[in-house]
């Protein structure tokens, strides 16, 4: 079936980039995007839920891993003071 569709410029650009990346035609890319969108969430590639496996961090008790950036800043400041004293 042949029809005319008016696309927003940002949508057209995304489709052009996707078609180029896939090395497919604009028409084929548009049809694929419409099929996935109209099929609902199950056809969009949603698979099994992602699971994160926790591993020991190796930090010693009392080391707050949330504040490591402060430690790096303090070490950098100490190094700058040491250079200035030289």
Tens digit of each residue's pLDDT (9 = 90 or more) over 19-41: 999 999 999 999 999 999 898 76
Length of the chain: 86
Q: What average pLDDT does the chain have?
A: 87
> Which whole-number Å values give the CA distances from 81 to 43, 70, 74, 84, in the listed order?
59, 16, 11, 5
pLDDT greater than 80 at residue 85 = yes
């Amino acid at each position: 079936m042949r029809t005319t569709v008016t696309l927003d410029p940002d949508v057209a650009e995304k489709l052009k980039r996707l078609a180029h990346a896939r090395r497919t035609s604009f028409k084929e890319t548009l049809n694929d995007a419409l099929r996935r969108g109209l099929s609902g969430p199950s056809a969009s590639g949603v698979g099994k839920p992602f699971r994160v496996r926790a591993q020991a961090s190796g930090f010693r008790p009392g080391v707050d891993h949330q504040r490591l950036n402060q430690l790096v800043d303090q070490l950098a400041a100490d190094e700058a003071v040491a250079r200035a004293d030289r």
